[in-house]
Amino acid sequence: MTRLLLFTNDYPYATGDAVFVDKEIRYLAAAFDDVAVFCYARDTSAGVVDMPANVFLADNLFERAPDDSLFAPLRPQMIAALARAAGQEMRAGRLRRHLRLFLMGARVGITGARRRAVRDAISEDPDCVAYAFWGMGGGLALAWLRGVRARVLRLHRYDLYEERSPEGYLPFRRFLLSRADRVLAISDDGADYLRRTYGSAVRPGAIRVSRLGVWGPDVVVRPGSERARTVVSCSAVTEVKRVELIYEAVRAVPGLSPENPIRWIHFGDGDLFGELVARIADPPPGLEVELRGQVPNRDVAAFYERHRVDAFVNLSSSEGVPVSIMEAIAYGIPVVATAVGGTPEIVSHDQRSGELVAVDADASTIGGVLRAVIDAPDGTYDPRAVWRERYDARVTGPAAADLVRGALDDHAHLNSKETP
């Protein structure tokens, strides 16, 4: 019997990373006899999603349990590991300035790893693989687990690019990476960053690219152009997503007028949503703005299916590879996006998926690029070709499951080589 311990943020609760994990879970379920999910969900009000028959929620590590202990990090079996992690951070010059965050992260990880539900799930199956879908939250437990055959760590953006994190620090990165048999980056840029920044801490050959993917229709027939060109964006309204800059860029599209109108629709809300509402209170003539707020993912897909969208825009200052862009290109929508993180791997003129702009481009420059894209004749871009090749969940899901299951197969292979 083989068991997967899957550490998530929210899944199987229908919020947060459920939309990501959903694209892999059926393939992971097929690769293992059963899958025990350990989430780190703060909000469980949305209820759980449907899961494959052999997948079950084992525990929510965010909720306190009777067996949690303030002294868990001081248990004998953890002291040596804690000293090793601290030593790595000290040699990297990261411990002194970030001691508080290091200790907080260690406590979260060790407490999660020592949770009775986790230990029981491991002890029930000798062929157990731990897969942390994120390198933060419940995923921090991966570094401190005992008794599993193999460990797999997936990294995205906020849990990868340390210097871009709110305090410029992510807890015990080197120790966490050194404990992983395989490290899955969602982009070439992420994999290169890992090799460049933490290469000596990672096991040789452990870093692999495992792209996220999305579902999409088998066939897309784009509606004809309408008098008002439609521009769509979809993201949280936060500082890093720069949604206000999208508004300024749409305002700056050359030729905007009542005779040549543009409709900008944004899906998503966030901390800066109120400021955005105030900012767009008086749009210029010819610009119609619709802030749809937070809507279910299926509603966004339905909009793409029923309406002509002339361009999708993402102007983030930092990204992994935006799932929102994957969803747009699955419906044949060309993209205008900033050249940050892994975005150039999905958007470029050469790939015929859209156009890139510099991260420091001003609204006028971006507006000019937008005008060129929305006025381009049908056939100029072929975004679905990129989706089919790299971001179709029917391709990425099985590939991810193979990489996770492969960590167990590697362990068995090494053991067979060592057996006389």
Higher pLDDT, 197 or 414: 197
Residue 414 has pLDDT above 50, yes or no: no
Task: Examine domains 2-213+393-418 and 229-391 and report if their fold is the same.
Answer: yes
pLDDT at 417: 38
Residue 261 preceded by cis peptide, ω within 30: no
pLDDT at 408: 87
- Element spanning 117, H or E: helix 116-123
Higher pLDDT, 345 or 410: 345
d(CA 131, CA 72): 22
The whole-chain average pLDDT of the chain stands at: 93
pLDDT tens digits, 139-167: 999 999 999 999 999 999 999 999 888 88
So where are the chain's domains?
2-213+393-418, 229-391
d(CA 37, CA 46): 17
Residue 409 has pLDDT above 90, yes or no: no
Fold of the domain spanning 2-213+393-418: Rossmann fold (3.40.50)
pLDDT tens digits, 273-299: 999 999 998 899 999 999 999 998 889
d(CA 270, CA 283): 21
DSSP labels, 72-106: GGGSHHHHHHHHHHHHHHHHTT-TGGGHHHHHHHH
pLDDT at 328: 97
Start-to-end CA distance of the chain, whole Å, equals 25
Confidence of residue 67 (pLDDT cuts 50, 70, 90): confident
pLDDT tens digits, 172-205: 999 999 999 999 999 999 999 999 999 889 999 9
Residues contacting residue 392 through CB under 8 Å, at least 6 positions apart: 213, 214, 215, 216, 330
Whether the CB-CB separation of 338 and 316 falls below 8 Å is answered with yes
Cα distances (Å, whole numbers) of residue 267 to 80, 248, 250: 48, 17, 16
Residue 3 has pLDDT above 90, yes or no: yes
CATH class of 229-391: alpha beta
